[in-house]
Amino acid sequence: MKQILKAVSKIVLWKPEWTLTIPSLVMLLTLVGIPTLVILLTALRTSSPTGGVGDGWSLEAIYRLGNPIYVPIVVRTIIYTTITTVLCILIGLPVAYYLARCSGRLRTTLLLAVVIPFWTNILVHLCAWKMALHPDGIVKKALVFLNLVDPGTVLLYNPQTVILVMVHVFLPFAIIPLYATIEKFDFRLLESARDLGAGSLQTLWRVFLPGIASGIWSAAILVFVPVLGCYIVPQYMGNANILLLANKIEQRTFADRNLPEAAALSGCLLLAMLLVWLFFRGMSRIHEAREAQKETKS
């Protein structure tokens, strides 16, 4: 113990900034590193016939990941996650653009309206959507009154509802990084492009979007990764046929009590999130490097 304390004191004396970093590292190791290690080790254990974890070690849970029943679940998860991410970016772009261009007091009010959902529990959002989409809810009655849907149409427990609610929940994750990037954009470039004869679409595609590409990649990361592991929205707004990977992990954990297989699925989900993060981060850095080369040449 004395040797450990001496080593820590040497590090602190050598790099004083470590005194500020060590608490964060300890918290990260305790809350993320150790639980992740426990999950990975559990995936290498045998399952108990009575539920839980057995005494021995085995790769059986890893082999079961090749079961064909997981293919449609993985495909469905990727499709739902991709659609949600694309919709969040498409909706978030004009919102973030307006936030960046409006006046100071109005901007503060609108930013507060975007941030407030972060302070609200997701269960409150789900309950509100269930009340609104209920057969006796205001949305259903309004659509029936406008003859847009039949009275027997069910708005709850379908794929469209799941995607709609996930877009609502994760939209702020796209708006904030897009706004931060657009706010720094030099809008004189748009005026210059128009003066040189570029049309609106050409200006948008060749000047504006490349100029905020880093914000788009950041928004994609912040939306895609949490949606990939989203569990509660499909659970409460979907049905038995809308089973995503996170819901399958919950089923293996609590219903089947097959903890090694649930841990193996969790490990795959963690790996998928890491690969997605590395991909988007790599694309963002490639764009930054290209922009730096353009500035150097100019």
pLDDT tens digit string along 106-138? 888 888 888 888 788 888 889 999 998 888 888
pLDDT at 195: 81
Is the pLDDT at 14 greater than 60? The verdict is: no
Instruction: Give the model confidence (pLDDT) of 139-163 as tens digits.
Output: 888 888 888 888 888 888 889 999 9
Minimum mean pLDDT among 78-82, 102-106, 215-219, 260-264: which range? 102-106
pLDDT at 77: 92
CA distance 21 to 7: 16
Q: Which residue has the higher pLDDT, 154 or 96?
A: 96
Q: Which two tokens stand for residue 283?
A: 């694309």
CA distance 190 to 281: 27
CA torsion, points 172, 174, 176, 182, in degrees to nearest 10?
Answer: -140
Is-contact 177 222, C-beta < 8 A? yes
CA distance 216 to 284: 9
Is the pLDDT at 25 greater than 90? The verdict is: no
Q: Which residue has the higher pLDDT, 285 or 298?
A: 285
pTM of the model: 0.85
Instruction: Give the model confidence (pLDDT) of 222-260 as tens digits.
Output: 999 899 988 899 988 888 778 899 999 988 888 888 889
CA distance 67 to 45: 18
